[in-house]
Every structure is written in structure tokens, then in C-alpha cells.
């Protein structure tokens, strides 16, 4: 009241000029704020409205003045508004920040916050009100979304807790079942082996049945335990450097016998060179064992199973192929889900519960690999899985492998530095260098440079592998820090550069690093594959670093013999190949021609490729069909095309 009186006195004492200036200030405020402002008289008639108010009604301010809310809004809404107005006029109580859902005259639903205060004349009598209405739809939606997010987070947390409880329950129950089951198994074995007395044929038959069922139970318990372990946050792979050829050969006798008992031929097709990669021996053994056991289970007498190990550019790929029952098209993806059995064979159903492949998939993926299947009912199945080749196909001495494995076990840090010559053949041709001499010289240069490196904790870096066929040299540096290892890379790089410059070889690049960028976009110069083991790479070549992937969305047309070509988009690309999405699963190793469109105005580049991997994604196309991610390796890439690709990769990286 005191404030109002003082304002009246202030108005009385203002000059005309001052009044005009105040009116201008008021109209500036009214017309420039996005909020709706209106003055009403005691009857609810508009005395003054701002542009925002009129705009909202699709009118001009002068068309609004003199009218009431009943002229613009639906009756119900106008009634509510006038009820508020009447309350203010009657009591003098303002309404502050009243939040309501409203429908604008143009039919759009929104949220508004309204503040209305009474207006008084000089005598203190209420003459009307002034209101400000603000559109708070965005803020409200954010609040709603925030609330929804919190609700979902709570729900997710509850589900996670439930899932954890379920895993713990399975784990406890399975553990508890194991011991009595082992005792039952032992007892049955004693009976069967007639240690406790002779049994007749009928008794023996019953005991065999019991024994088979104990076996089934044991498999189920083991799989349930695996499942809960894999789900646990404490699950850890125990990596070591493993010779994959040996891993496969170790169990080959067992599986060959298993197959032979069913009249099936089982053959291994392994590369001559050893493939050493970091993996969890037990777990990959389990993966291979699951796949081969399934192949035997679902193949009839006279069938054939082939196990093949292949080296790809950045992965190794293992194939377990059978000529068995095959899997129907619609079932192919389901078989990796838990508790899914699609075979109609009673014998097979009896032997499993449909957990093996889901565990296998989890294990492969935990290794950073991928797994897929191609199958045809009545023809057979091909189960493929890949593992990353963190370390290329080096033939390492047992002694070196032991050394690395013992370092891993002792939790000591070690660095493996791979010096890799990119396209060595091309490199030699380009510089007209005598092949053997060049590689020998380079080996000596590297050895020499290592001799000059100071030892850390009595350990010196040493050349552990040099293979001209793979144009690769490897240095093992135990107990080194990142700084020590980087220094070695630098020294090696400088020495190679000096050697090449002495030979007057120009245009060669030497790069420290690995073709990987961190999420922050920084080039990572070492790749940590275990907590204490890192790989560093030094690339030497006459072209840009090989196989750096860049994400890109280029138009690509995929042509296959006898079918219509498919238009798609690339996902990523490297000098070695592309990855694209496809509606067709394609076939592993099938040859395709692709047409890549780098430039809208220029013809597409036609390239040949081989399908290296196929993964079904969770995504679906607009027409609801499954989408596959196809990894394609270029074959017989022409230098001209390579150059175009390299140029593109450079331009987007």
C-alpha cells in the first residue's frame, strides 16, 4: 500500500517529457519481451495488450483491445481465466506463477506460467489487473523428460539388482549342486565298474542311463555357472600368448575320436605358420570345443567336419564347418540366444538346454571378436568366429613366449615393439633395392640401435623376431615404461631414416603409432592389450600408413552374380577394405563387386572384394528387415584406385 501511494505521488510530480519517456520505456518492454502481457479492466476487457499477445491470437493489438477472453478462447478455458480474474479483483490477492496446460488459439498444446496482479487507482480502488503469461513448454518437457529419465534409471537399477540376484542365485545353487552330483557320479561309477560287486545286464543298462543323466546335469550346471560368471562384473579373461595352431591340435585327437565314433570324418586345415595371439587359452578352448561338439552332434554318419584357421589382415578367423542337418533360415540368429534349441532331434534336445552357443558368443565377444553362422537346412552349417590379431603372425620362440607369459603372470610391465614395413614388396620395387640385403641391413640397423639403449632394471630391449615374409620385426622390452619404449621407437625410427637417407632413398615415411585414435581424437602410440602389456608399432613404408579406418557414409552399390544389386552406405573404410550395411547376409569369402561413390558428380569407382565377416546388427531397415554389417577386404586393388581411396581417407581423417 505504501509503495503504491508513493508511485502515485511520483506520477503526479513527473513532467510531460518524463511521462513520454516512461511510456516509451513501457512500450519497449511490452513489445520486445516474448511473454504475453495484458492489462484488463474490472470486467475482464482488454485495456492494453502487447504484440506477443496479439500475435498469439493471430491478430493485431488494436484488434484485441476492448475484447474479453471469451472472444478468443473456448468457453471452458475462458471461464477458468475469468474466475481467476474475478478472484483477484474481489480480494486483491495476486496469482503468482500458476502453471497450466493450455491450448493456443492455433490448436497447439503448451504449458504456460501465469502471474496476475491487481491494478489500483489513486484512491486505492482495484480497477483491473495486469497479467504476464509465459510459454514454458520447453522447460516443462525437459522437466518431464528428466522425471522420466529418473524413473527409467530407477527401473534399470532395480532390474540390474534383480539380474545380479538371479546370477548370484544361479551361482550359489549350481555350486551347491556340484558336490552331491560328483558324489552320485562317483557312486554310479563304482557300481558300473563292479568295484562293489557284480551286476547283471539289466542293472548295467539302468546304471548307464543314470550315468548319462548325471552327465547331462553336470553339463547344465557347468553352463549355468558359466552364464553367471560371464554376467558378473568380476569376470576376467586370463590372457597369455598362445600358439593357436597348437591349441587346435592339442584337442584334435579327442574330437577326431568323437567324430569317428559316429562315422564322421573330421579334418583340420591349419596354416603352416604358427599363429600366436593373446587369448584366454581355457576360454577359447571352450569356444572351439562347443562348436566342434555341436558339429558332431548335428551331423549324421558319413558326414564331414572341417576346422579351418585363417589369417586375415587384422584378425584371425576360425571356421567350424559341417555337412550336418543345417539350421532353418529363420532360426539362424536365434540360436545364439539363451535357452534356444531349434533342432527337432529328440536326442540333441536331450543333450543340451540351448546355452552353449550363447556362452560361446559371449566369450568370443569378450575377446573382442565376432561370431556368425551360415547354414542351409539339409546341407550343413559354417560357424565362423574371429579374434583380433593384436600381435601379427609372428613365429616366436617358445622361450620368448614363455618370457612374455611369465611377465604377464608376475604383473610386470612389458612392451612389444613391432617394426612393420608396409607393402614391403612394393617398397623394394620402388627403390630398386636388393631384397634380402635390404631386410638384413634393416635388421642389423635395428639390432645396432638397441645396443645403444640403456637397460632398465637390468632388462634391455631385444630383437625377438625378424621375418622377411611378413616384413616385420619385433622387439621385446620387459619392465619398460611408456617413456622407455617410446625412446626405443624413436631411436629405431631415426636409425632407419638415416640408413635410407644414406642409400639416397627418398619419399619414405616412418611413423610411430598404431592406426588408432582415442575417443578424444588423439593418435594413440601404444595399444594396451592387458594391464601390463603394451604393443607399440613403428611403420615404415612408401605409402601412407596402412589400414587406418575412417568412419564414412559413402554411397555403395553391391553387385552379386545372378541377383539384383543393392544400394547401401559404408560404415567405415580403410585402405584394406570397407565395412557397409546390407540387407543381405552375403556369404563369407564370396567375391563381390562394389561401386563406391566418392563424388556425386563423378562416376563410381568399381572395386573387387572378398567378404571377410558378416554380423547381424540389432538394427532393422525401414521395411523392417534385418541389417547386416559386412566386412569386405579389397582384392587386386589397382594402384590408381588405391590412390583414390588413400586420398579420400586422408581428406576425412
Only one of the segments 40-48, 227-235, 290-298, 411-419 lies at the binding site for ligand ADP (rule: CB under 6 A); that segment is: 290-298
The maximal CA–CA distance of the chain, rounded, in angstroms, is 126
CA angle 352, 358, 361 (to 5 degrees): 135
The C-alpha cell of 89 is what? 479483483
The C-alpha cell of 68 is what? 474479453
Place of cell 623394394: 428
- Residue 181 contacts ligand ADP per CB under 6 A: no
98 forms beta bridges with 114
Only one of the segments 56-64, 130-138, 145-153, 336-344 lies at the binding site for ligand ADP (rule: CB under 6 A); that segment is: 336-344
* Shortest reach from residue 214's CB to ligand ADP, in Å: 17
Query: By C-alpha distance, which of 370, 386, 403, 393 is closest to 240?
Result: 403
Number of CB atoms found within 10 A of residue 38's CB? 24
Convert residues 373-402 into a mask of x (bound to ligand ADP by CB under 6 A) and - (unbound). Answer: --------x---------------------
Number of residues that bind ligand ADP (CB under 6 A): 22
**Closest CB to ligand ADP among 239 and 298?**
298
3-state secondary structure of 478: strand
- Residue from the set 323, 343, 542, 574 that interacts with ligand ADP by CB under 6 A: 343
DSSP 93: -
**Closest CB to ligand ADP among 298 and 372?**
298
* Shortest reach from residue 237's CB to ligand ADP, in Å: 21
**Closest CB to ligand ADP among 352 and 631?**
352
| CB closest to ligand ADP, residue no | 352
* Shortest reach from residue 259's CB to ligand ADP, in Å: 12
Pairing status of strand 265-269 against strand 462-467: unpaired
Query: What is the C-alpha separation between 291 and 297, in angstroms, rounded?
Result: 10
Query: What is the C-alpha separation between 427 and 433, in angstroms, rounded?
Result: 9
**Closest CB to ligand ADP among 128 and 326?**
326
Whether 241 and 464 have beta carbons less than 8 Å apart is answered as: no
**Closest CB to ligand ADP among 352 and 609?**
352
Pairing status of strand 414-421 against strand 533-541: parallel
Q: Which strand (E) or helix (H) includes residue 388? A: strand 380-388
Only one of the segments 141-149, 172-180, 342-350, 467-475 lies at the binding site for ligand ADP (rule: CB under 6 A); that segment is: 342-350
* Shortest reach from residue 333's CB to ligand ADP, in Å: 11
Query: What is the C-alpha separation between 532 and 415, in angstroms, rounded?
Result: 8
Query: What is the C-alpha separation between 355 and 360, in angstroms, rounded?
Result: 9
**Closest CB to ligand ADP among 251 and 293?**
293
- Residues in 444-473 at the binding interface with ligand ADP, rule: CB under 6 A: none
- Residue from the set 248, 335, 396, 512 that interacts with ligand ADP by CB under 6 A: 335
- Residue 342 contacts ligand ADP per CB under 6 A: yes
Query: How many CA atoms lie less than 13 Å away from 220 in the CB half-sphere?
Result: 16
- Residue 323 contacts ligand ADP per CB under 6 A: no
Only one of the segments 345-353, 547-555, 600-608, 622-630 lies at the binding site for ligand ADP (rule: CB under 6 A); that segment is: 345-353
* Shortest reach from residue 252's CB to ligand ADP, in Å: 18
Q: Cα–Cα distances in Å, from 615 out to 192, 276, 622?
A: 47, 25, 19
- Residue from the set 54, 266, 287, 295 that interacts with ligand ADP by CB under 6 A: 295
**Closest CB to ligand ADP among 294 and 314?**
294
- Residue from the set 133, 228, 325, 515 that interacts with ligand ADP by CB under 6 A: 325
- Residue from the set 322, 362, 370, 633 that interacts with ligand ADP by CB under 6 A: 322
Only one of the segments 138-146, 153-161, 335-343, 512-520 lies at the binding site for ligand ADP (rule: CB under 6 A); that segment is: 335-343
- Residue 303 contacts ligand ADP per CB under 6 A: no
- Residue from the set 294, 323, 574, 588 that interacts with ligand ADP by CB under 6 A: 294
* Shortest reach from residue 217's CB to ligand ADP, in Å: 13
- Residue from the set 30, 89, 327, 442 that interacts with ligand ADP by CB under 6 A: 327
Query: How many CA atoms lie less than 13 Å away from 139 in the CB half-sphere?
Result: 9
Place of cell 546355452: 355
Query: By C-alpha distance, which of 187, 270, 271, 278 is closest to 237?
Result: 278
* Shortest reach from residue 258's CB to ligand ADP, in Å: 14
Number of CB atoms found within 10 A of residue 542's CB? 19
- Residue 341 contacts ligand ADP per CB under 6 A: yes
Only one of the segments 321-329, 443-451, 591-599, 634-642 lies at the binding site for ligand ADP (rule: CB under 6 A); that segment is: 321-329
Q: What is the dihedral of CA 580, 581, 587, 589, to 10 degrees?
A: 10
The C-alpha cell of 100 is what? 497450466
In DSSP notation, 109-128 reads: EEEEEEEEEEEE-TTS-EEE
The C-alpha cell of 304 is what? 564331414
Which runs of consecutive H residues, i.e. helices, occur in 252-397?
A: 252-261, 281-297, 346-351, 356-366
**Closest CB to ligand ADP among 357 and 422?**
357
For the chain, the first-to-last Cα distance in angstroms comes to 69
Q: How many helices (H) and strands (E) does the chain have?
A: 17, 25
**Closest CB to ligand ADP among 332 and 408?**
332
Only one of the segments 157-165, 277-285, 324-332, 622-630 lies at the binding site for ligand ADP (rule: CB under 6 A); that segment is: 324-332
* Shortest reach from residue 585's CB to ligand ADP, in Å: 17
The C-alpha cell of 316 is what? 584371425
- Residues in 348-377 at the binding interface with ligand ADP, rule: CB under 6 A: 348, 352-358
* Shortest reach from residue 615's CB to ligand ADP, in Å: 18
Which runs of consecutive H residues, i.e. helices, occur in 193-280?
A: 201-231, 244-250, 252-261
**Closest CB to ligand ADP among 81 and 295?**
295
**Closest CB to ligand ADP among 343 and 511?**
343
3-state secondary structure of 551: strand
- Residues in 63-102 at the binding interface with ligand ADP, rule: CB under 6 A: none
The binding site for ligand ADP (CB under 6 A) comprises 294-295, 298, 322, 324-327, 335, 340-343, 348, 352-358, 381
Amino acid at each position: 500500500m505504501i509503495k503504491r501511494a508513493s508511485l502515485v505521488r511520483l506520477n503526479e510530480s513527473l513532467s510531460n517529457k518524463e511521462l513520454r519517456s516512461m511510456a516509451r520505456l513501457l512500450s519497449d518492454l511490452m513489445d520486445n519481451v516474448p511473454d504475453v502481457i495484458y492489462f484488463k479492466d474490472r470486467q475482464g476487457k482488454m485495456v492494453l495488450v502487447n504484440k506477443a499477445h496479439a500475435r498469439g491470437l493471430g491478430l493485431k493489438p488494436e484488434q484485441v483491445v476492448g475484447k474479453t477472453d471469451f472472444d478468443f478462447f473456448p468457453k471452458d478455458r475462458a471461464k477458468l481465466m475469468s474466475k481467476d480474474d474475478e478472484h483477484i479483483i474481489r480480494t486483491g490477492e495476486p496469482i503468482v506463477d500458476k502453471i497450466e496446460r493450455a491450448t493456443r488459439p492455433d490448436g497447439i498444446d503448451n504449458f504456460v506460467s501465469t502471474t496476475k496482479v491487481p491494478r489500483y487507482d489513486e484512491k486505492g480502488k482495484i480497477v483491473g489487473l495486469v497479467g504476464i503469461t509465459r510459454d514454458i513448454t520447453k522447460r516443462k518437457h525437459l522437466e518431464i523428460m528428466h522425471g522420466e529419465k529418473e524413473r527409467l534409471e530407477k527401473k534399470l537399477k532395480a532390474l540390474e539388482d534383480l539380474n545380479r540376484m538371479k546370477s548370484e542365485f544361479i551361482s550359489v545353487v549350481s555350486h551347491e549342486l556340484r558336490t552331491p552330483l560328483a558324489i552320485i557320479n562317483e557312486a554310479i561309477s563304482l557300481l558300473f565298474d563292479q568295484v562293489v560287486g557284480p551286476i547283471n545286464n539289466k542293472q548295467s543298462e539302468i546304471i548307464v542311463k543314470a550315468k548319462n543323466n548325471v552327465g547331462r546335469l553336470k553339463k547344465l550346471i557347468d553352463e549355468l555357472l558359466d552364464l553367471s560368471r560371464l554376467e558378473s562384473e568380476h569376470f576376467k579373461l586370463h590372457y597369455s600368448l598362445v600358439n593357436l595352431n597348437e591349441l587346435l591340435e592339442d584337442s584334435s585327437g579327442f574330437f577326431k575320436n568323437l567324430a569317428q565314433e559316429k562315422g564322421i570324418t573330421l579334418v583340420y586345415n591349419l596354416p603352416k605358420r604358427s599363429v600366436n595371439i593373446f587369448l584366454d587359452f581355457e576360454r577359447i578352448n571352450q569356444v572351439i570345443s562347443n562348436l566342434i561338439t555341436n558339429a558332431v552332434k548335428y551331423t549324421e554318419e558319413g558326414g564331414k567336419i572341417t576346422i579351418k584357421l585363417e589369417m586375415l589382415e587384422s584378425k584371425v578367423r576360425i571356421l567350424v564347418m559341417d555337412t550336418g542337418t543345417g539350421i532353418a533360415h529363420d532360426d539362424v540368429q536365434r540360436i545364439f540366444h539363451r535357452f534356444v534349441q531349434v533342432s527337432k532331434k529328440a536326442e540333441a534336445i536331450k543333450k543340451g538346454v540351448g546355452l552353449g552357443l550363447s556362452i560361446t558368443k559371449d566369450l568370443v565377444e569378450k575377446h573382442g571378436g565376432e561370431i556368425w553362422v551360415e547354414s542351409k537346412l539339409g546341407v550343413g552349417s559354417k560357424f565362423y568366429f574371429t579374434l583380433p590379431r593384436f600381435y601379427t603372425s609372428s613365429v616366436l620362440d617358445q622361450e620368448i613366449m614363455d618370457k612374455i607369459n611369465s611377465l604377464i603372470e608376475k604383473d610386470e610391465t612389458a612392451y612389444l615393439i613391432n617394426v612393420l614395413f608396409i607393402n614391403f614388396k612394393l617398397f623394394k620395387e620402388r627403390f630398386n633395392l636388393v631384397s634380402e640385403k635390404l631386410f638384413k641391413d634393416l635388421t642389423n640397423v635395428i639390432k645396432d640401435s638397441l645396443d645403444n639403449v640403456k637397460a632398465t632394471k637390468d632388462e634391455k630391449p631385444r630383437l625377438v623376431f625378424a621375418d622377411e615374409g611378413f616384413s616385420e620385426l619385433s622387439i621385446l622390452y620387459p619392465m619398460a615404461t611408456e617413456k622407455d619404449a617410446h625412446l626405443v621407437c624413436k631411436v629405431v625410427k631415426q636409425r632407419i631414416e638415416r640408413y635410407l637417407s644414406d642409400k639416397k632413398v627418398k619419399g619414405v615415411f616412418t611413423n610411430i603409432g598404431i592406426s588408432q585414435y582415442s575417443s578424444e581424437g588423439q593418435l594413440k602410440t601404444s595399444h594396451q592389450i592387458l594391464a601390463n602389456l603394451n604393443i607399440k608399432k613403428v611403420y615404415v613404408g612408401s605409402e601412407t600408413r596402412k589400414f587406418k579406418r575412417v568412419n564414412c557414409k559413402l554411397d555403395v552399390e553391391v553387385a552379386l552374380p545372378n541377383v539384383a544389386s543393392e544400394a547401401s552406405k559404408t560404415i567405415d573404410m580403410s585402405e584394406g577394405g570397407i565395412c557397409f550395411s546390407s540387407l543381405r547376409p552375403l556369404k563369407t569369402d564370396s567375391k563381390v563387386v562394389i561401386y563406391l561413390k566418392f563424388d556425386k558428380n563423378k562416376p563410381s569407382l568399381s572395386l573387387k572384394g572378398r567378404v571377410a565377416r558378416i554380423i547381424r546388427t540389432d538394427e532393422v531397415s525401414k521395411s523392417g528387415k534385418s541389417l547386416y554389417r559386412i566386412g569386405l577386404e579389397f582384392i587386386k586393388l589397382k594402384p590408381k584406385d588405391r590412390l583414390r581411396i588413400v586420398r579420400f581417407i586422408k581428406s576425412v581423417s
